[in-house]
Amino acid sequence: MSNELGTFLRSRRERVNPTDVGLPATGRRRTPGLRREELALLAGISATWLTYLEQGRDVRPSDQVLDALARTLRLTAAEQEHLRRLATGDPTREPDAPETAAPEVAGIPALLGDNPAYVTGICYDVLAVNEAAAELFRGMTPGGNVVRWIFTDPAAREILIDWEPEARHILARLRAIAGRHAGHPRVTRLVAELSEASPEVRTWWPQYDIQFSHAGRKRLRHPRLGAVTVPHAAFHVAEHPEQTLVIYHLPPGTP
């Protein structure tokens, strides 16, 4: 079992205010949040078992244990899903080889005409992109990386009107990927590169925020249309669930 589970559990118990879960205020604490023994007591599990989980030992917690931890730590739905993924399977260690999309998948963005669309790989490498997306997200090209573009390309801060929340969200999605694929060489290199290049990543990464891809709306600054609010959706490729097709729907009547 990866010690990523332990890192996640510790980050979450550090966020829980002891008084919010009925523990008395006992003056100044050396560390924030709940102590390991307190979490074990509140979740109804042994402190030894929790220690094993946080140390990444080869143990398999039951659904009841995971439910108790999620409830005590007040995990969101996305965090609960991440906890289960970390706890119930070994992380995937994939070969360090360039990732490609099948031709049938890579050709989909071009079929979507004026609606920006692109396909990304396991750590947001751009595998395919249509002309509409290349126009809107200038600088984002096949062979590039969406997360790297957001954090290191000045154009991203101009195009993404709500840059900070958008940057936080995609970093939270990368954090979830890094947890599921601990040790994956390309994910590891990307995180190291971003941490070196971006002060925001250095600050936000240790916070261990988790999010998964979903539909929504973004405020974007289009080179021809100006500021627009654009709905978007993400679809995972059946044979390769870490590959994602992202589609934006520009306003009707777009020239």
CA dist list (Å): 244 to 130, 184, 214: 14, 18, 11
Fold of the domain spanning 4-88 = 434 Repressor (Amino-terminal Domain) (1.10.260)
Tell me the pLDDT of the chain (255 aa) as tens digits.
Answer: 457 888 888 888 888 888 887 787 666 667 788 888 989 889 898 888 888 888 877 777 888 888 889 999 999 888 888 888 788 764 444 556 778 999 999 999 999 999 999 999 999 999 999 999 999 999 999 899 999 999 999 999 999 999 999 999 999 999 998 888 877 888 999 999 999 999 999 999 999 998 887 789 999 999 999 999 999 999 999 888 889 999 999 977 554
Pairing of strands 216-222, 126-129: unpaired
Alpha helices by DSSP H, 94-240: 103-106, 108-111, 131-136, 146-152, 154-159, 163-180, 185-197, 199-204
Look at the block and give the residue holding tokens 């990444």.
56
Residue ranges, CATH 1.10.260.40, the chain: 4-88
Contact assessment for residue 234 and residue 219, using Cβ atoms and an 8 Å cutoff: no
Residue ranges, CATH 3.30.450.180, the chain: 103-248
Residue 22 DSSP symbol: T
CATH of domain 103-248: 3.30.450.180
